């Protein structure tokens, strides 16, 4: 009896190792054929759906989970354990999502007898009633840790979302918003500076092109506002 148990255990151990090796080699061959793993920095345990696109030079931290149609533009960072569940989710350039951010572009049906749509009932057919509304995040957006962004929401460029927020409605460009539900707490800069930043759209430049403007990115506001306005006006005039 003891012999049989030992033999079984050894057998199971070998099988488990073999299974693990097989899994690793499948993952490896998938990665070497997948552009997302070549032109971006993707850490361990990240799961992409086939419809996920990364524009390039993105950084995806450990164990983040992409479902459905999710697009992330260049130089953006998706923190550890984000869940981006599309529908249709687009994230602009130079965004930073802190750890534990969730974006859901999906709702269960609200008009039916039950919101339950699990496969245990009617073999998943109730999932056909799910409602998807796109989520759009602009450029240069910083989303604080543990934030949830709900379906149908559009967040402008230059926005900061405070930690632990629940974003239920659109957020305009260049504001700081926070809370549950997230409300605009303040405009980040003067209207004049915001207008100029939206005209310049620095996020369309690559990090090497931005080297020429490095000084601007170290200026502190509001003290340097006048200097910043003059410099950006000049940049826009000369391009
Ligand atoms: C929003 C944040 C950047 C602070 O910005 P700030 O301009 O210094 O804002 P203040 O601290 O002056 O707060 C302004 C108001 O917003 C409130 N507030 C700030 N952060 C908040 C948040 N996360 N949720 C709810 N309310 C918040 C403050 O209580 C204050 O309210 P009051 O005016 O009624 O007193 C900061 O609170 C935050 O959430 N940072 C994110 C941290 C994070 O996720 N780090 C991960 C690293 S990637």
The runs of H, that is alpha helices, within the chain are 2-32, 35-38, 191-200, 207-210, 214-218, 225-238
d(CA 34, CA 179): 38
Write down the CATH number for the domain with range 41-188: 2.160.10.10
d(CA 184, CA 89): 22
Predicted confidence at residue 234, as pLDDT, reads: 96
Predicted confidence at residue 13, as pLDDT, reads: 76
Predicted confidence at residue 32, as pLDDT, reads: 72
d(CA 233, CA 220): 18
Tens digit of each residue's pLDDT, the chain (239 residues): 555 655 566 666 788 777 766 666 656 656 778 889 999 999 999 999 999 999 999 999 999 999 999 999 999 999 999 999 988 999 999 999 999 999 999 999 999 999 999 999 999 999 999 999 999 999 999 999 999 999 999 999 999 999 999 999 999 999 999 999 999 999 999 999 999 999 999 999 999 999 999 999 999 999 999 999 999 999 999 98
Which of 176, 185, 187, 188, when mutated, tests ligand 1's pocket best, judged by the most ligand atoms within 8 Å of its CB?
A: 185
What pTM does this model have? 0.89
Q: How far apart are the first and last CA of the chain?
A: 83
- Ligand 1 atom 20 nearest Cα: 162
Ligand 1 interacting residues, C-beta cut-off 6 A: 98, 144-145, 160, 162-165, 176, 178-179, 185
Of the residues 55, 99, 108, 127, which is catalytic? 108
Domain residue extents for the chain? 1-33, 41-188, 189-239
Residue 224 Cα to chain centre, angstroms: 31
Predicted confidence at residue 2, as pLDDT, reads: 52
Catalytic, 19? Answer: no
Predicted confidence at residue 84, as pLDDT, reads: 98
């Amino acid at each position: 009896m003891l012999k049989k148990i030992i033999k079984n255990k050894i057998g199971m151990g070998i099988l488990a190792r073999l299974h693990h090796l097989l899994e690793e080699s499948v993952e490896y061959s998938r990665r070497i054929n997948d552009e997302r793993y070549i032109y971006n920095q993707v850490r361990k345990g990240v799961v992409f759906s086939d419809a996920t696109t990364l524009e390039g030079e993105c950084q995806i931290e450990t164990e983040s989970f992409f479902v459905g149609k999710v697009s992330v533009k260049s130089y953006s960072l998706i923190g550890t354990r984000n869940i981006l569940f599309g529908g249709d989710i687009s994230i602009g350039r130079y965004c930073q999502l802190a750890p534990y951010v969730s974006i859901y572009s999906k709702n269960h049906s609200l008009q039916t007898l039950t919101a339950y749509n699990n496969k245990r009932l009617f073999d998943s057919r109730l999932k056909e009633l799910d409602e998807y509304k796109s989520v759009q995040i602009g450029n240069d957006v910083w989303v604080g840790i543990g934030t949830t962004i709900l379906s149908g929401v559009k967040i402008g460029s230059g926005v900061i979302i405070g930690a632990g927020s629940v974003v239920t409605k659109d957020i305009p460009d260049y504001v700081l918003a926070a809370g549950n539900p997230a409300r605009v707490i303040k405009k980040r800069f003067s209207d004049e500076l915001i207008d100029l930043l939206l005209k310049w759209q620095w996020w369309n430049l690559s990090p090497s092109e931005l080297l020429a403007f490095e000084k601007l990115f170290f200026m502190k506001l509001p003290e340097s506002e006048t200097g910043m306005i003059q410099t950006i006006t000049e940049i826009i005039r000369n391009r």
